Amino acid sequence: MTEVLSQDEIDQLLTAFSSGDVETEESRQPTGQRKIKIYDFKRPDKFSKEQIRTVSIMHETFARLTTTSLSAQLRSLVQVHVASVDQLTYEEFIRSIPNPTTLAVINMDPLKGSAILEIDPAITFSIIDRLFGGHGEGTNVMRELTDIESSVMEGIIVRVLGNMREAWSQVIDLRPRLGQIETNPQFAQIVPPTEMVVLVTLETKVGDVEGMMNFCIPYLTIEPIISKLSAQYWYSSVRRGTTTENLNILRDRLSTIEVALVAEIGAMDLTVRDVLSLRGGDVIRLQNTRTSDPMVLKIGNRPKFLCKPGQVGSKLAVQIIDQLEDIEQEDFEELAAEEGE
């Protein structure tokens, strides 16, 4: 039989609930429930956090190289650094960039497929203005590039791709080539809209003009080397490169450097009288030498005799072969006076 509560009993029960004297059904549920992560099957995560971090490290090197090369080419202060590395669909990337813009389609040989390098219009026109003799000022006018401006940007992009090859060298011998330059993002459909890509966003500053450069790499393009995008493989490759390629480069460069070298095989103390009495054929016994090459006997820092090392009995010795340029008599007198002291 259902019990009917009076109004006073209902008020007391509500007061107990609000004060915590009575536990509700929700409060009695176990607190150790597993956390559920929402997964969107339309946007599957194909890159792990470690792979994203490795891509970021690679392009930090690319950013440093690009900073140096563009600063030298534009003769202006250029700053490039990695702002973020994210994975998203290609459609989201296309919708996030302005129209018109500078879109370079990059052939990622020997990988199959292409990538996209997008340069913000403010950065593009700042570079063009600088190369045409201006101060590198940007423009707020949104327009497509002329044929001459497009040709100028091709040279800039080719130089940037050289930096990309060096930054990727620890993972693969990448040979990126510029395919074509587009201004409308809708004309640069290199993969299906739902395909996942990794997007490297680079904050770029040319003089006082700031903007972004975006490097978009589809998963289908990078899939053959996805296993190499790990911190362990990356650092092991760096160590291998340090001990082989870098040492070979260093050895080749050092081989062309001329270095003045003086080798002193031994030294002896002779009186001036003994030196004056030396003639061709005389032998001087030594204590410490094992060479068979001709030697030069010096007086101070000036060569005096040409000697040939040899052995007399069980003793090492040198034989005076020839007398070199004479030392002035005043020098001998000075040496004799010092010796007398």
Contact 188, 88 (CB under 8 A): no
The pLDDT value given to residue 82: 93
- pLDDT band at 1, cuts 50/70/90? very low
The pLDDT value given to residue 308: 72
Paired tokens of 235: 């650092």
CATH placement of domain 49-252: 3.40.1550.10
- Percent of the chain at pLDDT above 70? 62
pTM of the complete model: 0.58
3-state DSSP assignment of residue 226: helix
Average pLDDT in the chain: 76
The pLDDT value given to residue 119: 92
Tell which wins on pLDDT, 238 or 166. 166
The pLDDT value given to residue 339: 47
The pLDDT value given to residue 11: 74
- Range with the poorest average pLDDT among 169-173, 186-190, 257-261: 257-261
d(C-alpha 217, C-alpha 226), whole Å: 12
The pLDDT value given to residue 25: 54
- Examine the pLDDT at 330 and tell me if it is beyond 60: no
- Examine the pLDDT at 305 and tell me if it is beyond 80: no
Task: For 25-41, write each residue's pLDDT tens digit.
Answer: 554 555 556 777 666 66
Which CB contacts under 8 angstroms, 24+ apart, belong to 335-340?
A: 335/272, 335/299, 335/300, 336/272, 336/273, 339/271, 339/272
Residue ranges per domain, the chain?
A: 49-252, 272-340
272-340 folds as Ribosomal Protein L25; Chain P (2.40.240)
- pLDDT band at 103, cuts 50/70/90? very high
Is there a common fold for 49-252 and 272-340?
A: no
Which CB contacts under 8 angstroms, 24+ apart, belong to 279-283?
A: 279/320, 279/323, 280/320, 280/321, 280/322, 280/323, 281/319, 281/320, 282/319, 282/320, 283/310, 283/312, 283/317, 283/318, 283/319, 283/320
The pLDDT value given to residue 280: 54
- Examine the pLDDT at 216 and tell me if it is beyond 90: yes
